[in-house]
């Protein structure tokens, strides 16, 4: 039985990053993520219902929506599987957060605060290089110079992280290691290096959950495992369909090659092209080219 909660579940993810009482965990993670770029002093959780919701997202997306003391906003999500228009959805979310900053009246001059979208993805992103971190920013296509720092996307592809505990060199890597391996660990590492991991260990210990919290977590685990089962079924179905298609294409190619072999032999025997075409079903052009 696991000692620590699964952070890929709704309850697990929100327990770590979505509680005002434990906001120092999210602050520490954001500072590790954005080290050298900016430093978050404090955050205030916003009502995530301000973000548009879509029916087919339920059970798949776990939102945390907050702002820091400078007014800059952060949308943090865990995504367990890719779905149609996933990237467009993230674009829509951040655009909505930007648009809500508009003020009516003549005094507002389009002064905007930055919006960060941070998306944990528990799968391989398609059509992108396979790597842990993909940063998307508004920049000139040719020179790569930044056009604006007001909209940032950071995708964290968890399957691409394969470092062992001893190989983690930064707090960002330590966070990713702990989140990815949490459910299989008997103790949380790095507590001597960063006190936040000691607090994290106390929060994610399943034994520390109240009866009500445990019931909610058990239901969350059930939803997560059902998702995995559906994903595995779809993967197996895709493999079976691919195999069936491959066999059909192989048979078709084999039959085509057989016809060409017969046509080639008939051609060598001196039979005219028209007769060979009627006998094999191949076009005269194909036969001429043999």
Q: What is the pLDDT of residue 240?
A: 60
Q: Which residue positions in the chain have pLDDT lower than 70? A: 48-62, 104-106, 226-254
Q: What is the pLDDT of residue 57?
A: 46
Distances (CA, A) of 92 to 113, 154, 164, 176: 17, 15, 36, 26
Q: What is the pLDDT of residue 246?
A: 60
Q: Which two tokens stand for residue 252?
A: 């078709």
Q: What is the pLDDT of residue 59?
A: 36
Q: What is the pLDDT of residue 156?
A: 96
Rounded to whole angstroms, the Cα distance separating 95 from 101 reads 10
Q: What is the pLDDT of residue 152?
A: 94
Burial of residue 43 (number of CB atoms within 10 Å: 0-12, 13-18, 19+): buried
pLDDT per residue as tens digits for the range 110-125: 889 999 999 999 888 8
Q: What is the pLDDT of residue 58?
A: 42
Domain boundaries in the chain? Answer: 10-208
Q: Which two tokens stand for residue 270?
A: 């001196």
Backbone phi, then psi, for 105, in 5-degree steps? Answer: 110, 170
Find all residues with CB under 8 Å of 82, minimum gap 6, and list them: 121, 123, 125, 126
- Are 53 and 1 in contact by the 8 Å Cβ rule? The answer is no
Rounded to whole angstroms, the Cα distance separating 71 from 111 reads 12
Q: Which two tokens stand for residue 137?
A: 């920013």
**What radius of gyration do the chain's Cα atoms show?**
28
Q: What is the pLDDT of residue 218?
A: 81
């Amino acid at each position: 039985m696991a000692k620590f909660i699964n952070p890929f579940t709704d309850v697990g993810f929100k327990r770590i990053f979505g509680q005002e009482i434990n906001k120092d965990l999210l602050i520490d993670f954001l500072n590790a993520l954005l080290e050298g770029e900016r430093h978050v002093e404090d955050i205030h959780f916003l009502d995530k219902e301000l973000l548009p919701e879509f029916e087919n997202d339920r059970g798949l997306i776990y939102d945390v929506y907050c702002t820091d003391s400078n007014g800059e906003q952060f949308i943090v999500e865990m995504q367990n599987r890719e779905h149609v228009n996933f990237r467009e959805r993230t674009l829509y979310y951040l655009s909505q957060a930007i648009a809500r900053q508009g003020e009516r009246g003549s005094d507002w001059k389009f002064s905007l605060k930055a919006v960060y979208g941070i998306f944990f993805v528990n799968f391989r992103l398609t059509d992108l290089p396979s790597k842990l971190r993909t940063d998307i920013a508004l920049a000139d296509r040719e020179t790569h110079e930044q056009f604006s720092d007001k909209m940032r996307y950071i995708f964290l592809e968890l399957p691409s992280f394969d470092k062992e505990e001893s190989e983690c060199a930064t707090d960002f890597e330590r966070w990713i290691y702990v989140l990815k391996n949490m459910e299989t660990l008997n103790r949380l590492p790095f507590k001597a290096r960063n006190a936040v991991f000691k607090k994290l260990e106390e929060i994610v210990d399943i034994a520390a959950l109240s009866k009500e919290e445990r019931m909610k977590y058990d239901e969350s685990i059930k939803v997560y495992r059902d998702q995995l089962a559906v994903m595995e079924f779809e993967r197996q179905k895709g493999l079976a369909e691919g195999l069936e298609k491959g066999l059909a294409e192989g048979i078709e190619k084999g039959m085509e090659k057989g016809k060409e072999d017969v046509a080639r032999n008939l051609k060598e025997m001196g039979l005219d092209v028209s007769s060979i075409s009627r006998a094999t079903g191949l076009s005269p052009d194909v036969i001429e080219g043999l």
